[in-house]
Amino acid sequence: MRTAYHEQLDTLNLILGEMCELAGTAMARATQALLQADLAIAEEVISGTDKMTELSARAEEQAFALLALQAPVAGDLRGIVSAMQIVGDVDRMGALALHVAKVARRRHPAKALPEEVNGYFAEMGRLAVQMSENARDVIRSQNPDEAVRLQDDDDAMDDLHRHLFTVLMDRDWSHGVAAAVDVTLLGRYYERFADHAVLIGRRVLFQATGKTPEQFLEVS
C-alpha cells in the first residue's frame, strides 16, 4: 500500500514539475513579446493555455485519487495537501505570464516599455524563468536545501523591482501616465511570479520535512 502511495505521489510531482516548466516557457515567450513588441509571440502565449489547464486537471485528479484510495496518514496527507497547493501556485504563475503577453498585445504595434526599463525586464524575465526551472527541480528532487535556496532568487527579483520604482519616480520620467501604469503592473506580475515559486519551495520543504523554512534553518 505504501509503495503504491509513493509511486502515485511521484507521478503527481512529475506533473507538477511539467507545469512549472510550462509556466517558465510561457514567461520566457511573454517577455520576448514584451521586449520586441512581437504580436505573434504574444498571441501564441495567450492561446497556448490548454496544456496547462489539462495538466492542472490531471494533477488535481491524481491528488484526489490519493486521498480517496490510499487512506493517507498524517505524513502522507501533508504531502498530498502541499501538492494540491502547488497546483494553485503554478496555475497562478501561468496566469501571470499570460498577463504579460496581454500587455504586449494591447500596446502593439508600439512597445509597452520605454527603452530605459528594458534591461530591468529582460533580467526579471531571466530570473522568473530560472525560478520556475528551480521550482521544477525542487519538486522532483524533494531536496530541502534547494527548496530554501529559492528565496535567494526572490531577493534578487525584489531588488530589481525596487530599482524599477526609482526610475518611475525620477523627475526626468517623460513617458506619461499610461506607460508608468504599464511598467508598474508588469513589475508586479514578475514579482508575484517569483513569489509563487518561493511558495512552491516552502511547500516542498513542508512536504519533505514537516518544517517551515525558518524552522528548518534553525536546526540546519
What's the confidence (pLDDT) of residue 8? 86
Average pLDDT over residues 11-35: 97
What's the confidence (pLDDT) of residue 70? 61
What's the confidence (pLDDT) of residue 67? 81
Average pLDDT over residues 33-50: 96
Q: Average per-residue pLDDT in the chain?
A: 92
pLDDT classification of 3: cutoffs 50, 70, 90? confident
What's the confidence (pLDDT) of residue 89? 97
Going from the C-alpha of 124 to that of each of 35, 64, 108, 186, the distances in angstroms are 12, 35, 21, 10
What's the confidence (pLDDT) of residue 65? 85
- According to DSSP, residue 117 is labeled G
- What's the gap between Cα 150 and its chain centre? 11
Average pLDDT over residues 4-23: 91
The model's pLDDT over 50-96, given as tens digits with 9 standing for 90+, comes to: 999 999 999 999 988 888 776 666 677 888 889 999 999 999 999 99
Going from the C-alpha of 186 to that of each of 9, 97, 121, 182, the distances in angstroms are 35, 10, 9, 6
> Taking the CA atoms of the chain, what radius of gyration do you get in angstroms?
19
Average pLDDT over residues 111-126: 96
Residue 2 has pLDDT above 80, yes or no: no
For the ranges 5-14, 38-47, 152-161, 202-211, the one whose mean pLDDT is highest? 38-47
The more confidently predicted of residues 111 and 1 is: 111
Average pLDDT over residues 108-136: 96
Domain 2-219: homologous superfamily in CATH: Phosphate transport system protein phou homolog 2; domain 2 (1.20.58.220)
